Amino acid sequence: MNRFWCCFFIFWPILAVLVSWYSPDMDWWFPGEPGTPIGSQIDDLFYLILVIVTVVFIGTQIALCYVLWTGVKKQKGKALFTHGSHNLEVIWTIVPSGILMFISLYQLDVWKNFRVQSTFPEAAIEAPVAEVTARQFEWRIRYPAPGKVLKLTPQPDDLYTVNDLHVPTNRPIVIQLRSGDVQHSFFVPDLRIKQDAVPGQVIPILFEVLKGGDYDLTCAELCGWGHYKMRARVLAQPESEFNDYLLGLQQEQNYDGVADEPAPSLAQQTKEVRQ
Amino acid sequence: MSTLNPAMDHSGVHDHGHHELSFVQKYIFSTDHKIIGIQFLITTMLMLLVGGALALGVRWQLAFPWQNMPFFGRFFMAQGGAISPDAYTMLFTMHATVMIFLVIIPVLAGAFGNFLIPLMIGADDMAFPVLNMLSYWFMWPAIFFFGLSFFFGGGPAAGWTSYPLLSALAEAAPGSGTAQTMWLLAVTFIGVSSMMGSVNYLTTIINMRAPGMTLFRMPMTIWGMFITAILQAFALPVLTAAGFMLVADRVFDTCFFIPEGIVVNNADPTRGGGQPLLWQHLFWFYSHPAVYIMLLPAMGMVSDMLSTMCRKPLFGYKPMVYSMAAIAGLGFIVWGHHMFISGMNPALGMTFMISTMMIALPSAIKTFNWIGTIWGGKVEFNTVMLNSVAFVSMFIVGGLSGIFMAAVPVDIYIHDTYFIVAHFHYVLFGATLFGVFGAIQFWFPKMFGRMMNETVGKIHFFLTFVGFNGTFFPMHMLGVAGMPRRYADPYLHPYLEHLLPMNQFMTVCAIIMGFAQILLLGNFILSIFYGPKVGRNPWNGNGLEWFAPSPPPHGNYDVPPVVYRGPYEYSSPLVDDRDYLMQTDYLPPKEPDKESDDSENDSESKET
Ligand code: HEM
Ligand SMILES: [Cu+2]
Ligand SMILES: [Cu+2]
């Protein structure tokens, strides 16, 4: 029975490693390739830590089972009488602290370059693409009129949408995040972006989408009973299409409902919005 | 400080046992630390069932969203027995609340702290017995208000973290009305209860140790309780203050946490210049130390159990003590790691990242020392040993997953996903609760003078361990897949749809694990009456608690204990006929009575 339990305690780490190993194949893993530069760096860092942690995990679990196994076999006589070893203590203090120091310092740049505001590219921070206001339970989006710069306070010619955030690809952009009521969090898993929306605060988010496409936007901070259903999309498109989209939006918003026929691009754009 | 005047210390013994106490005085409003400890233990075990039932509700919804729950469904508000979205928010809020405030904190400090501290340091009772009794009875108003809160708007539903404004404005959610005020009130009562315990433990440990019980002869359990009490004493006031501020915001229209011009649910815009992040700072300033309050005593108990079970001195006693102190110290400067993406200044995040990485170091040192303790020992897998080994094995996982989240850029992605949920269940359930299961089995004979059943204990362990890992290991994957926590219906989002079968598997495991707890409860209750009787020292332990009769009488010891050595002299070469040397065993000074550390080397060569 004793040996059974030894096997039991080595069996589960093996299973854990196997499950983790096959998880990407089973699609129990990242939702997709990261769509942003910071995303790739986050993933790289994740894998680096994963390797380190896996080595430590396997090492400690094997050590644990090894001492259990020898302990099970030792049934005669007295146990080893020792109160510890100064040398071992020194080794297993210094080695982990070295590793931890390495991990800490290694990641600082990623954080600094993407999150600390003073390092944001000037062009991006001066002309935010849009303002996103999270509310129970939707995302309201405000763009500046084409050719204008987003102001902190709403302007008469601003353009509005709900739950569809259009952004241009292939350049660093800034989104201004607000909350209209309680706390929310702007989470785009494919882009590896997350930022809490705090009532009373305007928080810039910096990112650069590399590939056009639709990305799921979800809320990651409990905001009430409908928290789970704040489903929305980030629609990334090349700069020119993005500009067309804004133009279309402007025409639609300014359309008085009397003129014979809306501008051609509008019809097309409304269709796209409705899709 | 190290030794006290024995006459003073033991004067209390003579007061006890001479007058008969009524049943109520003896078992209900008792001032005896042992009875209070057992009261805490039984209460928390019942609360464990309540918390577990709430968790199964959560798991049901994640596996079978919006489907009628068999039998239990009738307790939920939506028709037909399905869980409604607000019921779901209430379920995970109250699950966490019950588990943290009514199970783990009181079972460690309240139950085992109370029962063990006087017994292990050689005192006849706590320093303030009446305060001690009050600390138990102050738990009941908390339970009452938590219970009552279910009847207002379906119960509190702002998460156990209760971030404003969701928790500050009654309009924000159905459960943010009266229910939330009651929740805050109840947490305050729990805080008062903990604080009374904490003051008592500190005084008792500092002042009432038996002659010869120096600080560095104290068992790790006592160190764990001592450091926990310090953490509580310094961190709790902050939570209590924050709680009052939030209540004031809610009831007296103050604006500590409420900024201006917020319109919630079409109510009037708010007035005031508050800052919601302030709550997060205050809350985590308490709650990060609190996660160690929920761990350090278990670490101590496991150290003692492993050493006793392996018949081997604890490996690296002083490093163990120092690393525990380091965890506690660093624990006060890492709270910001819960707020990396909260809108707090990101530069500050870097500081918190470094301190958080550093706190992993003492955790690692402790793990290595536990493995070192088993190394060279004699291993016999009984229930105590199984649970203690599980503690170490699971703690490794929880500690390692902490490193992912401590890395700030990675935390951008995994914050508030199921990865976090996996992390804290590995440390709080995987480590602490397995430690507690072991401790129940280990000290049960001292509590009731009888043993618990081994076979049932092992089956309980097996089912719980398998169910636990089946439930919580896959949560790491869910987190990596980007599944946010606290979602009533994650499958609404296309990128999460394919995770449903995995969640169903986890729910099955959770149900197995939940029902396995009936074995624990049954074993516990039946063993009180039918377990085989045992003498003072069934495990051949060294500590002072094994020097007292089982169960110890009022006043604990029939002979006042005097301490000659540390608690870990197992397999000592100083005695030939047995492999333990109690703290109270007096060895005639044939050999010069040295501290055992000095004789370490020659004994080792004798052994091998
Ligand atoms: C090795 C040391 C540890 C490190 C580096 C660590 C790191 C972290 C970090 C960075 C977070 C925040 C994650 C996020 O919200 O994004 C976290 C959450 C948490 N940790 Fe740890 N942790 C460690 C050990 C522990 C221990 C020992 C416990 C409890 C006994 C614990 C309990 C928790 C809890 C309860 C939460 C989540 C609270 C919540 O959001 O509801 N951690 N940990
Ligand atoms: Cu939300
Ligand atoms: Cu923490």
Same domain membership, residue B443 and residue B363: yes
Is the per-residue pLDDT at B598 higher than 50?
no
Rounded to a whole number of angstroms, the distance from the CA of A271 to the nearest CA of chain B is: 22
A contacts of B261 (beta carbons < 8 Å): 200
Crossing angle of helices A2-26 and A37-73, rounded to 10°: 170
Q: Which residue of B has its CA nearest to A22?
A: B477
The domain ranges of chain A are 2-71+91-115, 122-255
Same domain membership, residue B367 and residue B480: yes
B22 falls within a domain: no
d(CA A30, CA A46): 11
Same domain membership, residue B442 and residue B321: yes
Same domain membership, residue B581 and residue B526: no
- pLDDT on residue B354: 94
Rounded to a whole number of angstroms, the distance from the CA of B474 to the nearest CA of chain A is: 9
Q: How confident is the model at residue A271 (pLDDT cuts 50, 70, 90)?
A: low
Is the per-residue pLDDT at B522 higher than 60?
yes
Same domain membership, residue B470 and residue B438: yes
- pLDDT on residue B477: 96
Same domain membership, residue B238 and residue B214: yes
Residue type, B221: T
Closest CA to B583 of B113, B214, B84: B214
d(CA A258, CA A273): 22
- pLDDT on residue B480: 96
Mean pLDDT over all residues of chain B? 90
Is the per-residue pLDDT at B268 higher than 70?
yes
Tell me whether the omega of the peptide bond preceding residue B538 falls within 30 degrees of 0, making it cis. no
Is the per-residue pLDDT at B453 higher than 70?
yes
Q: Give the ipTM of the model, two decimals please.
A: 0.92
B contacts of A193 (beta carbons < 8 Å): 412
Contact across the interface for A80 and B480, Cβ inside 8 Å: no
Is the per-residue pLDDT at B64 higher than 80?
yes
Picking from B311, B389, B476, the nearest residue to A68 by CB comes out as B389
CA B471 to chain centre: 20
| DSSP string over B160-229 | TTT-TTTTT-GGG-GGGSHHHHHHHHHHHHHHHHHHHHHHHHHHHHHH-PPTT--GGGS-HHHHHHHHHH
User: In 10 A of CB A54, how many CB atoms?
Assistant: 15
Q: How confident is the model at residue A60 (pLDDT cuts 50, 70, 90)?
A: very high
Percent of chain A with pLDDT strictly greater than 90 = 74
Q: How many residues does chain B have?
A: 608
Contact across the interface for B172 and A222, Cβ inside 8 Å: no
Is the per-residue pLDDT at B207 higher than 80?
yes
Atom of ligand 1 nearest to the CA of B415: 16
- Section B186-196 average pLDDT: 94
Ligand 1 site, residue B391, Cβ cutoff 6 A = no
Q: Are B350 and A108 in contact (CB under 8 A)?
A: yes
Total domain count for chain B?
A: 3
The maximal CA–CA distance of chain A, rounded, in angstroms, is 101
Ligand 1 site, residue B363, Cβ cutoff 6 A = yes
Is the per-residue pLDDT at B245 higher than 60?
yes
Same domain membership, residue B568 and residue B506: no
Same domain membership, residue B183 and residue B94: yes
Is B187 exposed, middle or buried (CB count within 10 Å of its CB: 0-12, 13-18, 19+)? buried
Same domain membership, residue B328 and residue B275: no
d(CA B210, CA B556): 12
Same domain membership, residue B569 and residue B456: no
Atom of ligand 1 nearest to the CA of B411: 16
B583 falls within a domain: yes
Q: In sequence order, which residues have a C-beta less than 8 Å from that of residue B272 and are 6 or more positions away?
A: B254, B255, B258, B259, B260
Q: Output the CA torsion B45→B50→B56→B59 (10° steps).
A: -100
Q: Are A186 and A218 in contact (CB under 8 A)?
A: no
Same domain membership, residue B315 and residue B262: no
Beta bridge partners of A150: none
Which residue shows structure tokens 């947490």? B187
B556-591 pLDDT, tens digit each? 999 999 999 999 999 999 988 888 999 999 888 765
Which of B163, B415, B420 should be mutated for ligand 1, with most atoms under 8 A from CB?
B420
Q: How confident is the model at residue B2 (pLDDT cuts 50, 70, 90)?
A: very low
Question: Please, what's the b/e burial string for B384-406 (b: 16 or more CB within 10 A of its CB; e: otherwise)?
Answer: bbbbbbbbbbbbbbbbbbbbbbb
Which of A66-75, B80-89, B359-368, B443-452 shows the lowest per-residue confidence on average (mean pLDDT)? B80-89
Range of the structural domain that residue B505 is part of:
303-534
The domain boundary, picked from B534, B565, B582, lies at B534
Residue type, A120: F
Is the per-residue pLDDT at B161 higher than 70?
yes
> Could you give the C-alpha distances from B165 to A66, A221, A222, B133, B151, in angstroms and in order?
52, 12, 11, 37, 22
d(CA B565, CA B214): 9
B2 falls within a domain: no
Q: How confident is the model at residue B84 (pLDDT cuts 50, 70, 90)?
A: confident
d(CA A196, CA B409): 15
Which of A57-71, A75-89, B431-445 shows the lowest per-residue confidence on average (mean pLDDT)? A75-89
* Ligand 1 atom 5 nearest Cα: B402
- Section B545-566 average pLDDT: 92
Say which CATH number the domain at B419 has.
Answer: 1.20.210.10
Long-range contacts of A12-19 (CB under 8 A, 24+ apart): A12/B393, A12/B465, A12/B469, A13/A57, A13/A58, A13/A61, A13/B393, A16/A57, A16/B397, A16/B469, A16/B473, A17/A54, A17/A57, A17/A58, A19/B473, A19/B474, A19/B477
Rounded to a whole number of angstroms, the distance from the CA of A25 to the nearest CA of chain B is: 12
Crossing angle of helices B383-406 and B454-480, rounded to 10°: 10
Ligand 1 center to B356 CA (angstroms): 9
Percent of chain B with pLDDT strictly greater than 70 = 92
- Section B13-37 average pLDDT: 74
- pLDDT on residue B132: 94
User: Any idea which architecture A122-255 has in CATH?
Assistant: Sandwich (2.60)
Is the per-residue pLDDT at B284 higher than 50?
yes
- pLDDT on residue B14: 45
Which of B427, B472, B486 should be mutated for ligand 1, with most atoms under 8 A from CB?
B427
- pLDDT on residue B389: 96
DSSP conformation class of A220: -
Q: Which residue of B has its CA nearest to A233?
A: B493
DSSP conformation class of B313: P
A125-173 pLDDT, tens digit each? 999 999 999 999 999 999 999 989 999 999 988 999 999 999 999 999 9
User: In 10 A of CB B451, how many CB atoms?
Assistant: 16
Rounded to a whole number of angstroms, the distance from the CA of B467 to the nearest CA of chain A is: 12
d(CA B600, CA B574): 11
Kindly state the helix (H) or strand (E) to which residue B555 belongs, with its residue range. Answer: none
Ligand 1 site, residue B95, Cβ cutoff 6 A = no
Which of B424, B472, B476 should be mutated for ligand 1, with most atoms under 8 A from CB?
B424
- pLDDT on residue B608: 31
- pLDDT on residue B307: 96
Atom of ligand 1 nearest to the CA of B294: 30
B contacts of A176 (beta carbons < 8 Å): none
Contact across the interface for B341 and A12, Cβ inside 8 Å: no
d(CA B369, CA B263): 55
Rounded to a whole number of angstroms, the distance from the CA of A214 to the nearest CA of chain B is: 12
Residue type, A248: G
- Section B132-140 average pLDDT: 95
Is the per-residue pLDDT at B599 higher than 50?
no
The domain boundary, picked from B272, B294, B316, lies at B294
The helix/strand/coil state of A234 is strand
Is the per-residue pLDDT at A270 higher than 60?
no
Ligand 1 site, residue B32, Cβ cutoff 6 A = no
Is the per-residue pLDDT at A14 higher than 50?
yes
Is the per-residue pLDDT at B12 higher than 50?
no
Ligand 2 center to A178 CA (angstroms): 13
- pLDDT on residue B78: 56
Kind of pairing between the strands at A184-188 and A213-219: antiparallel
Question: Taken in order B477, B483, B484, B489, is the CA torsion positive or negative?
Answer: negative
B9 falls within a domain: no
Kindly state the helix (H) or strand (E) to which residue A7 belongs, with its residue range. Answer: helix A2-26
- Section B270-275 average pLDDT: 86
- pLDDT on residue B97: 96
Q: Which residue of A has its CA nearest to B154?
A: A225
Ligand 1 center to B366 CA (angstroms): 17
Which of B104, B365, B405 should be mutated for ligand 1, with most atoms under 8 A from CB?
B405
Q: How confident is the model at residue A259 (pLDDT cuts 50, 70, 90)?
A: low
Ligand 1 site, residue B399, Cβ cutoff 6 A = yes
Crossing angle of helices B114-121 and B220-251, rounded to 10°: 150
Crossing angle of helices B346-374 and B383-406, rounded to 10°: 160
* Ligand 1 atom 22 nearest Cα: B402
Same domain membership, residue B565 and residue B516: no
- pLDDT on residue B591: 53
**Phi then psi dihedrals of residue B468, to 5 deg:** -60, -50
d(CA B36, CA B38): 5
- pLDDT on residue B222: 97
Contact across the interface for B277 and A198, Cβ inside 8 Å: yes
Ligand 3 center to B288 CA (angstroms): 4
Kind of pairing between the strands at A232-237 and A213-219: antiparallel
DSSP conformation class of A155: -
A contacts of B159 (beta carbons < 8 Å): 222
Q: How confident is the model at residue B214 (pLDDT cuts 50, 70, 90)?
A: very high
Ligand 1 site, residue B423, Cβ cutoff 6 A = yes
